[in-house]
Structure 1
């Protein structure tokens, strides 16, 4: 069959079972005929409206959490880009013909992402299996006592799962607070380096602890009007990765101050990584900026390339001195380095892969988005420029990997 001849609107409407499409803001974009029929809501009553304005929790039941659970599931889908299957939910629905009258219903929901051309979640597929009649039928077959036992067991199991998830979420939040406090203590805040403006940003991943795996640093170098700018990425997340990150960042910061150039700094860091548990396959890139000579000398250990935006909008990826990650070779050999020139007013950006990588997308697409954003906002000061880049490149609900970004006005 010719794919262009398929009427996907008709397919959607004919899907068996309740299926709706929602935006990442949880606003109905469409609903198939079964969804409209079984929910008792017309398409006009659904499309363009916030899901919880259409289906609020039963105000007469203080224990009702159905819609809050659905909201949490959908936001997980937006944040992670992964399908989320929910436990059986009891969710009462108000009779549209009798305001204030609520009917006890049971649902089995699944929420799944639909990705847009930019790799972000563009829509949420909300598929609902209506199981109220099944529960009622089993109750009739086994008598009232058996029906109530079955209903109570199903509902109790669902609530137990929800309570367990909530306890895990709270424990996770406390651990995350500890890790973020450690993150702030180990990474420097934005500052002025040698009278040159620099902006730094760090965004932890969503959906898990996922903090402290990335690092950044900006240091004054010995001799002349020079600074060193670097970023790095430790494999893994959480507090263990934080310890490795702190060791590597401190080592590179110290080494950069005495090294002849960025390649030598990464040579020494690679040898140090060899004796640090958890530093396997860590990546880093460092640049030495000489404001008197108007040069940027750089070297990369398996890390995405820095970007140099010239005042006229020309984009230059610093990718001519790339080597394997730290501790990748049993017998290290000298790493390469390259040098390029700049004029006053240029912008240098270093970042980690969380800023540019997306599922099911070539990395070149992320690099192009980054370059486009930097060019469009290149006249802005580093602080608003950094905010604009994060706003345009990170998914609305946050990325699934840590993100570090440094922007320096040269």
Structure 2
């Protein structure tokens, strides 16, 4: 016989709600409504944090913020996220304005549509407030449970302090990244757009970089993007050193291959720089030529005026310091015409967990073709970032440079 899944959902003994990717309630079962002390119409159709805001009288309240971060992680990583025990107070329905101290154990999971996109989010939550209160009475057999409750509350406080410290570290890292990367703007008289978007969640910043340098010979610039393995303040420091070294080297090197050879020797002496990927291109407007070299990095894309795209993938060698001894690197040359567009980027733009990189490259080239009539590099950069990166954020940093040739 057919199974009435709607009836099954309502009969589940655990408290479960369904949310859209925009965090609006689609449905909530009886156990969820009973546990939350809400009626169906007070929940379904409402934005999650309108229905269940944090206690406005508690400046340290973090339940809503932590829950939103978990849900955003599910959307970005496409995986189940089991949260630590959360304090998330709820406003009393019998006494509006009175907030009740409540503790919850949440789990969030994605529901995939046939085409693979996330159609819904499952939010399963178990309230443990009464259990903790019951075990907090230190009489006889409950002595051990009371101690457990005390430890849980201490852990909750420690987690909150760590979260705040983590937030401060992220702010420091972002400030460091802004200080070490060049300010977006024209190089000489050329029109160039740059974008940087840090990864969703945790520290996850400062691994990627871009660089723009005016070269001394004629109407020529060097443009590069790179990706340090790892994230956080350590990666930020390595990124800054490599970017500065490449920027200086590019100004005196005979070409991008030599610039990367010298950078590879420097990386060999720099702890944490191993396996860094980078691609650099010398753009020569006097001769309408692009000379490029890649150290294990995704290939730049040349969008031509006729709407075709070309991957600049004819000069790819291993990442920096990947070999025991440095070796000569290759470079390749391609011609361009006025009005073409050169795009360099890091893998956060095209790579997705469980998906072949060729799919991401195809999506990138298709996006460039669709938006080839964008009036300027800034508009094209915005269109590509909006189309290729998840609205809820990506799980890796993304750097992008768009050069109008």
Q: TM-score, normalised by structure 2?
A: 0.84
User: Which residue, 348, 353, 357 being the options, matches 1:359?
Assistant: 353
Cα pair 2:137 2:146 within 8 Å, conserved: no
Map 1:192-211 onto structure 2 (within 5 A).
192-211=186-205
Larger mean CA deviation between 338-347 and 81-90 belongs to 81-90
Give the CA deviation at 1:64.
7.0
Query: Within the alignment, does 1:178 sit opposite 2:172 as a pair?
Result: yes
1:246 aligned residue: 240
1:24 aligned residue: 21
Query: Within the alignment, does 1:87 sit opposite 2:85 as a pair?
Result: yes
Q: Deviations over 1:253-298 (max 9, x none)?
A: 2222232322222222222222222111111111111223222221
SS at match of 2:344: strand
Alpha carbons of structure 1 residues 372 and 155: separation in structure 2 relative to 1, 3 Å: farther
2:381 aligned residue: 386
Counterpart-to-counterpart distance in 2, 1:172 and 1:62:
18
Paired residues, number: 402
Q: Deviations over 1:36-57 (max 9, x none)?
A: 4554555554332112333345
Counterpart-to-counterpart distance in 2, 1:68 and 1:148:
33
SS at match of 2:399: strand
Alpha carbons of structure 1 residues 39 and 181: separation in structure 2 relative to 1, 3 Å: closer
Give the CA deviation at 1:79.
5.3
SS at match of 2:280: strand
Cα pair 2:25 2:46 within 8 Å, conserved: yes
Larger mean CA deviation between 147-156 and 369-378 belongs to 147-156
Counterpart-to-counterpart distance in 1, 2:36 and 2:25:
14
Cα pair 1:73 1:86 within 8 Å, conserved: no
Cα pair 2:16 2:122 within 8 Å, conserved: yes
SS at match of 1:20: strand
Cα pair 1:88 1:155 within 8 Å, conserved: no
Alpha carbons of structure 1 residues 62 and 350: separation in structure 2 relative to 1, 3 Å: closer
Query: Within the alignment, does 1:164 sit opposite 2:161 as a pair?
Result: no
1:296 aligned residue: 290
Alpha carbons of structure 1 residues 116 and 168: separation in structure 2 relative to 1, 3 Å: farther
SS at match of 1:336: coil
1:255 aligned residue: 249
2:339 aligned residue: 345
Give the CA deviation at 1:62.
8.9
Counterpart-to-counterpart distance in 2, 1:160 and 1:211:
30
Counterpart-to-counterpart distance in 2, 1:115 and 1:380:
37
Cα pair 2:137 2:143 within 8 Å, conserved: no
SS at match of 1:192: coil
Give the CA deviation at 1:342.
2.0
1:395 aligned residue: 390
SS at match of 1:196: coil
Q: Deviations over 1:302-331 (max 9, x none)?
A: 001111111222121111221111112223
Counterpart-to-counterpart distance in 1, 2:220 and 2:26:
54
- The alignment yields a C-alpha RMSD, in angstroms, of 3.5
Give the CA deviation at 1:301.
0.8
Cα pair 1:77 1:84 within 8 Å, conserved: no
Alpha carbons of structure 1 residues 42 and 234: separation in structure 2 relative to 1, 3 Å: same
Unpaired runs of at least 5, structure 2: none
Give the CA deviation at 1:150.
8.6
Query: Within the alignment, does 1:404 sit opposite 2:399 as a pair?
Result: yes
SS at match of 1:244: helix
2:309 aligned residue: 315
Counterpart-to-counterpart distance in 2, 1:211 and 1:384:
24
Alpha carbons of structure 1 residues 108 and 173: separation in structure 2 relative to 1, 3 Å: closer
Q: TM-score, normalised by structure 1?
A: 0.84
User: Which residue, 241, 256, 264 being the options, matches 2:258?
Assistant: 264
Counterpart-to-counterpart distance in 1, 2:322 and 2:103:
54
Alpha carbons of structure 1 residues 287 and 88: separation in structure 2 relative to 1, 3 Å: closer
1:283 aligned residue: 277
1:48 aligned residue: 45
Counterpart-to-counterpart distance in 2, 1:120 and 1:166:
33
